Structure formats: structure tokens, C-alpha cells
Amino acid sequence: MDLKLSNKLALVSGSTKGIGLAIATGLACEGAKVIINGRSEKSLTDALTKIRQTIPNAKLESFAGDLSDAATAAALVGQFPAVDILVNNLGIFEPKPFEQIPDDDWRRFFEVNVLSGVRLSRAYLPKMKQKNWGRIVFISSESGIQIPAEMIHYGMTKTTQLAVSRGIAGDLCRHGCDGQRRSARPDAL
């Protein structure tokens, strides 16, 4: 399949394993230049090796750092000031009974699962609008709709991701491709 991603720069947060690695590999297979993100140089090296085993000519960049930290996210944006495709995949989960989830866990889950994507989207969206082309994807889960009793704090973040992505999409839809403000009425879009 040709998704016409050659010459597109994609960033996949949390892409050294699991879903993030699979997404990064798929984008590289489609010809995109992909920025791989993980917290350590070792995890990045391992991920780059895995992708290159599958796609020897993959165009890859890397950034080591925890993107739940605002300063680290700003450093990433400083190194890569514009991307065409942003996949907000970074996330953590942990089963824990509700009454045992302390405030610090709620804050940590929100910082990692929600604010990391909010910060990156806020940073990259203006240039996507200027170019009149871009994609922002939040990797949520069924847990955003069917909140798991053993991971309520995780489910809350996944519901929030859905709200953020829908809000961004709605705002962009009202502005249209030419950047002009449109009516919020669905029949006027």
C-alpha cells in the first residue's frame, strides 16, 4: 500500500517497543522519515536495530528523553521544530485498586498519558496549519470508554485523550483547509 508518506517526517512518542514500535515500523515501511522516542539510548538503539532488520533503508532519527517532562518535550521540539505526522503513543498503565491510588499516581498518569501529547500537539499544530497538511493521532484504548475497575486512573487518561483529540479535530474542522473560520453547525461544514 502506498500511503504517500515519502518525504514526510513522523514522530512517534514512546516508540521503542510494543504498539509504538509497530507504528514506527509501519510508517518507515511507507517511506516516512521517523523519529523514534524512548527514555534511554539503549532502548533507542535496540528499536533502531529492530526496524532496520525489517526495513534496511529506513530513514530514522531518534530522541532520548521522557516526554512527560515539559523541558524534555521542549528540547525535542527544539531539535525537530516541525513534523508532518505526530503519533502520541507514550503511555503507562498499572493495575491498582481505586482506594490505593494516591494523588501522586493520578498526577503521574496524567503527565505521561495526557500532557505529553497535549504539549507536542500544541507545539506542532501551528506549522501543520501553515503547511495545510499534517496528522495528529492519539493512541487511546477501549479503556477510555469501558473504564477498567482495576485501572481507573489509566482509564481516566484514555478518556481525556479522546476528548483532546476530538476537541482539536472539531476546531480544525471549523477552520477548514483555507484557515478561514467556519460555522460550528455540522450542516455548514
Residues in CB range of 89: below 8 A, 6 or more apart:
12, 13, 14, 15, 19, 20, 23, 139
State whether the Cα torsion 135-138-139-140 is positive or negative. Answer: negative
The pLDDT of residue 3 is 84
By residue range, what is the domain housing residue 119?
9-188
Residue 134 and residue 128 in contact, taking contact as beta carbons nearer than 8 Å: yes
The pLDDT of residue 174 is 74
- 1 within a domain of the structure (yes/no): no
- 4 within a domain of the structure (yes/no): no
The pLDDT of residue 2 is 81
- Number of structural domains in the chain: 1
CATH number at residue 179: 3.40.50.720
53: its cell numbers: 532488520
Find the mean pLDDT for residues 147-159.
96
Task: Compute CA 58 distance to the chain's CA centroid, rounded to the nearest angstrom.
Answer: 20
By annotation, the residues acting in catalysis are 154
Least confident among 16-30, 77-91, 130-144, 162-176: 162-176
pTM given for the model: 0.91
- 3 within a domain of the structure (yes/no): no
10-45 per-position pLDDT tens digit? 999 999 999 999 999 999 999 999 999 999 999 999
- 127 within a domain of the structure (yes/no): yes
Pairing of strands 9-12, 135-138: unpaired
**Backbone torsions φ then ψ of 9, nearest 5 degrees:** -105, 125
- 154 within a domain of the structure (yes/no): yes
| Residue-wise burial string across 160-189, b where 16 or more C-beta atoms lie within 10 A, e elsewhere | bbeebbeebeeebeeeeeeeeeeeeeeeee
**Pairwise CA distance, residues 149 & 84, whole Å:** 37
**Pairwise CA distance, residues 88 & 66, whole Å:** 13
Residue 75 has pLDDT above 50, yes or no: yes
- 168 within a domain of the structure (yes/no): yes
Angle, alpha carbons 182-133-112 (nearest 5°): 95
- 157 within a domain of the structure (yes/no): yes
- 60 within a domain of the structure (yes/no): yes
Instruction: Name the amino acid, one letter, at 44.
Output: L
**Pairwise CA distance, residues 189 & 183, whole Å:** 7
